[in-house]
Structures are given as structure tokens and as C-alpha cells.
């Protein structure tokens, strides 16, 4: 908001520096000097901000898109955030109302006795003094306007606007976190479901192996130790299934809370296994992009702006306040047998008040406001560094998941080749049945590890987009 009074009073240079501009936001942390990330995979140019607004569409999973759309309309945290925005918007109106005159209407009525209207009248015992009772009505308008000579009221209004911007950014932060949680839990669930299917296949192979060993034991081809060892391996594989089932149910429970519905209504929709068919393309995001994309940085910036305005308000209390007042009204009294007695009044005036002695209260308020501004500026700098750390760690996790998936993909190819050779040898009598089962079991083990890596890679995309601040629609105001 413009502050014409600040511009007209060069004597208030300190106020101008502190309240009329917010250079402290960029002075304390200068992200423009940071041009690249320490860790960064190959990325594509960010041609359209839609890549960040609806990044989950890159997975090309229709159910995931459906879940996110539902969460945006039914999640309780978002509903609470929307209510807070309405509250903050009302506080902005309250803050800006002090910039304008206030006009109040007053009206009273009743019966009264007036001493200045006493008269003598004959009575049974002679003349008597009579104080008549009449119906009295009075009313009027009172207007008051504080001329904001030194910008104090403007600072208060700007502080309310800054706080509103912070609460709006908090809503964005909740939305970013919500979408990341839904996508992350959904991808984790898909990974767990895929692993459950592989574990079932492993259990089936171990059961076949146990049956074969029991037959060999009966024929004296193996000893009891081999049978016991196989039984142990079978029970170990079986024990993994309840753990995975527990993880799947807990992920469904978490998703149901995020979607604002009961788990029973969601379980059937999520029962089918299958990874999303595609991976998103990472945009080319630089550190400077975070300033306009990450809600936590927008929150920290709003806190700096609000603290600067509050400091301006505190300093404005050092100077006089000029108040204009105007009153206009009327009063009337009707006494039985007498005509109405009416008065109309008006007044115009102004008042100037200024601090003389307050035991250091105003100076202490300025010191406290200055300290809060320093805290807010330092918090902004720290928030930016934490944002950098968040993105860097997400990049490291992404690179690690890619490397691990590549290595496990190569291992899967080798395991598949070994299994085919073992199967061929068995068919031609070159190896026994147990060797073929072992080769197939090893292949399933590698596939399970690869599924874990695939899940980690997909979740790393979610972490990166969350770290970028993607998941809410930026506007010009933002």
C-alpha cells in the first residue's frame, strides 16, 4: 500500500527505510548469487508452470489423479486453512478501516423533569411550584477522523495485509504437503502390493522345494538338516507377508484420513496392484525459483514485511496525532399543555496529542519491534537455507534411487539368464530340480529388491516436486 505521508515527510527517513520498503528481505539473504545446485540430475527446461502446479499428472495414473482431486475438496486441514483465510481477510478490513473516518449515530428518548422549566400554579392550599414532566427525544451524528500524519495507521493496515499474505501462503504449504503425502503414500502402497505378490511367489517356490527335499530325504539323498533348513526358510518367507499386509493397511488408513473418508470406502478402490505407468519429467529449477514457488519462503517473507510495518507503527507513536471531530444533533422535549421545546446543536473541532512522558514505554516498544524484525529477517535467511537443504537432499535421494534401480535392473537380467540356463540344464539332465528352483527364487529376490528401488525412485519425484514448492496454482498476487 502506498504511503503518501511518508513521502511528504523527509524528516522521517528512519520510518521510510523500515516501513515503506522491505529491503531487509533481500538484504539478509541474497539467493541471486546461487546459480546452481550442488546435486542435480539431468532436467528439462521449465517451459510452463503447469509442470509444477499439477506435477502428479506425470505419473499418468488416473486413480492417483482422482484421489488428489477428491482430497482438494474434502480434506479437513484445507478446510481449516480456508477458514483461517476468511478470518485474516476480515482482519485486513479491520486494519484498513482506521484509515477512514468513522461516523456513529446516537438516539435517546424518555421522560425527564427540567429544573429550568419550573412554574407556579394555583392549588387547594394556594400557589404551588410545579416541575413538569415531558417526553424527551435527542439524537445526532458523531464523526471522527485521525489524520495519519506520520504513517502509523498505514503501517498497521500494511501489517494486516502482510499477515494475510502469510496465512494465504500457509494454505499453500498445507496443500503442497497434502498432495505430496497422498502421492507418496499411494506410490508406497503400490510398491507394497507389488512386493506382496512377489513374496507369494517366493513362498510357493519354497513350498515346492520343501516337498522335493522331503522326497529326497525319504530316499536317503539328503539329511534331516537340509529339510530343517528349508522349513526355516519357508517360515521366514511366510513371516514377511503379514508385515507387508500391515504396511498396506496402514497406508490405506493414512490415505483415507487425507481424503476425509473411512478406510472401508477406499479399500476396494486401492485393492488392485500395479505401479504407475510413467514417470514425471523434472523441470529445470534454480535456487532463485524457490522464492516464488515455496510457500514456506512466502510465509517467512510475509513475517518480515509484517515485522517491518509493526516497527513503523511503533516509531510513529513518537509523533503527535491529529484528530478531526464533528458532531451534529438535536434535542426536543414536549410538556403537556406547552409547545415543544427543541434545540439543534453542532460542533467542529480538532485535537492534537503527543507523548511527553511515558517512562520509556514507546522506546521500549520500538526496541522490541526492532528485535522482532531482526528475528524475522534471520528466520527468512534460515528458511531459505533449509529450503536449499531440502532440495539438495531430494536430489541426492533421486540420484541414489536411479543408480540403485539401474544396478538392480542389470542384476535382474543376469538372474533371468541364470534361471533360463538352469531350466535348460534341468530339462537335459544336466542339473537337478533344486538348482532350477534356487535360480528362480534368486530371480524373484532380485525382482523384489528392484520393486523397492522402483518405489523409492517414484517417491523421490514426489519429494523433489514438494521441495520445489509445486502443487498449488500461483497467481499474480502470489
Residues 407-427 have pLDDT tens digits of 999 999 999 999 999 989 888
What is the distance between the alpha carbons of residues 241 and 245, in angstroms, rounded to a whole number? 6
Does the pLDDT at position 9 exceed 50? Answer: no
| Cβ atoms within 10 Å, residue 203 | 17
List of residues 6+ apart from 263 with CB closer than 8 A: 249, 252, 253, 256
Query: In the structure, what pLDDT confidence band is assigned to residue 149 with cuts at 50, 70 and 90?
Result: confident
123 in any annotated domain: no
Predicted structure pTM score:
0.80
Query: In the structure, what pLDDT confidence band is assigned to residue 327 with cuts at 50, 70 and 90?
Result: confident
C-alpha cell at 117: 422549566
122 in any annotated domain: no
Alpha-helix residue ranges (DSSP H) falling in 260-321: 263-267, 290-293, 295-316
120 in any annotated domain: no
The pLDDT tens digits of the residues spanning 216-231 come to: 899 988 899 999 999 9
Does the pLDDT at position 459 exceed 60? Answer: yes
Q: Are 181 and 341 in contact (CB under 8 A)?
A: no
Give backbone dihedrals phi and psi of 375, rounded to 5 degrees, phi first: -65, -45
Crossing angle of helices 62-74/76-97, nearest 10°? Answer: 40
| C-alpha pair distances (Å), 265 with each of 102, 258, 262, 271 | 55, 13, 6, 11
What is the distance between the alpha carbons of residues 446 and 133, in angstroms, rounded to a whole number? 104
Edge to edge, what strands does the sheet with 341-353 contain?
102-113, 133-147, 321-335, 341-353
Q: How many domains does the chain have?
A: 1
117 in any annotated domain: no
Going by C-alpha positions, the residue among 324, 403, 392, 9 that lies closest to residue 147 is: 324
The pLDDT tens digits of the residues spanning 23-70 come to: 444 444 455 455 667 776 665 555 455 568 889 999 999 999 999 999
269 in any annotated domain: yes
Give burial (CB, 10 Å; 0-12/13-18/19+) of 421. middle
121 in any annotated domain: no
What is the distance between the alpha carbons of residues 448 and 237, in angstroms, rounded to a whole number? 12
67 in any annotated domain: yes
Q: What CATH number did the domain enclosing 58 receive?
A: 1.20.1600.10
* Residue 478 DSSP SS3: coil
**134-143, 313-322, 441-450: least confidently modelled range:** 134-143
Q: Which domain holds residue 76?
A: 4-110+134-468
Amino acid at each position: 500500500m502506498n504511503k503518501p505521508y511518508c513521502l511528504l515527510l523527509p524528516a522521517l527517513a528512519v520510518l521510510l527505510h523500515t516501513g515503506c520498503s522491505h529491503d531487509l528481505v533481500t538484504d539478509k539473504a541474497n539467493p541471486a548469487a546461487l546459480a546452481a545446485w550442488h546435486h542435480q540430475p539431468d532436467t528439462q527446461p521449465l517451459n510452463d508452470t503447469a509442470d509444477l502446479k499439477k506435477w502428479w499428472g506425470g505419473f499418468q495414473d488416473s486413480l492417483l489423479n482422482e484421489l488428489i482431486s477428491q482430497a482438494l475438496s474434502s480434506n479437513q486441514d484445507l478446510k481449516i486453512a480456508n477458514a483461517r483465510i476468511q478470518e485474516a481477510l476480515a482482519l485486513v478490513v479491520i486494519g484498513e478501516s482506521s484509515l477512514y473516518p468513522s461516523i456513529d449515530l446516537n438516539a435517546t428518548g424518555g421522560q425527564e423533569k427540567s429544573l429550568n422549566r419550573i412554574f407556579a400554579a394555583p392549588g387547594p392550599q394556594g400557589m404551588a411550584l410545579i416541575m413538569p414532566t415531558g417526553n424527551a427525544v435527542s439524537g445526532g451524528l458523531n464523526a471522527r477522523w485521525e489524520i495519519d500524519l506520520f504513517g502509523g495507521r498505514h503501517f498497521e493496515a500494511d501489517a494486516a495485509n502482510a499477515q494475510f499474505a502469510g496465512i494465504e501462503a500457509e494454505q499453500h504449504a498445507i496443500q503442497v504437503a497434502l498432495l505430496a503425502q497422498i502421492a507418496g503414500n499411494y506410490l508406497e502402497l503400490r510398491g507394497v502390493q507389488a512386493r506382496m505378490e512377489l513374496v507369494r511367489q517366493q513362498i510357493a517356490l519354497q513350498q515346492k522345494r520343501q516337498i522335493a527335499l522331503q522326497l529326497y530325504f525319504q530316499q536317503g539323498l539328503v539329511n534331516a538338516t537340509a529339510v530343517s533348513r528349508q522349513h526355516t526358510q519357508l517360515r521366514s518367507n511366510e513371516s514377511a507377508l503379514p508385515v507387508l499386509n500391515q504396511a498396506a493397511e496402514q497406508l490405506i488408513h493414512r490415505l483415507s484420513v487425507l481424503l476425509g473418508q473411512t478406510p472401508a470406502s477406499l479399500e476396494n478402490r486401492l485393492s488392485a496392484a500395479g505401479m504407475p505407468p510413467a514417470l514425471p519429467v523434472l523441470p529445470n529449477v534454480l535456487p532463485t525459483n524457490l522464492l516464488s514457488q515455496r510457500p514456506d519462503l512466502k510465509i517467512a517473507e510475509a513475517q518480515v514485511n509484517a515485522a517491518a510495518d509493526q516497527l513503523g507503527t511503533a516509531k510513529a507513536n513518537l509523533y503527535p496525532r491529529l484528530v478531526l471531530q464533528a458532531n451534529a444533533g438535536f434535542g426536543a422535549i414536549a410538556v403537556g399543555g406547552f409547545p415543544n421545546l427543541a434545540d439543534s446543536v453542532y460542533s467542529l473541532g480538532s485535537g492534537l496529542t503527543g507523548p511527553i512522558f511515558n517512562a520509556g514505554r514507546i522506546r521500549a516498544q520500538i526496541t522490541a519491534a526492532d528485535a522482532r524484525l531482526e528475528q524475522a529477517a534471520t528466520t527468512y535467511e534460515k528458511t531459505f537455507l533449509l529450503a536449499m537443504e531440502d532440495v539438495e537432499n531430494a536430489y541426492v535421494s533421486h540420484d541414489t534411487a536411479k543408480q540403485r534401480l539401474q544396478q538392480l535392473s542389470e542384476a535382474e537380467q543376469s538372474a533371468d539368464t541364470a534361471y533360463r540356463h538352469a531350466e535348460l540344464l534341468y530339462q537335459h539332465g544336466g542339473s537337478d530340480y533344486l538348482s532350477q528352483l534356487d535360480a528362480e527364487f534368486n530371480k524373484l529376490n532380485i525382482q523384489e529388491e528392484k520393486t523397492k528401488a522402483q518405489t523409492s525412485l517414484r517417491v523421490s519425484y514426489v519429494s523433489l516436486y514438494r521441495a520445489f514448492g509445486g502443487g498449488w496454482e500461483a497467481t499474480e498476487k502470489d
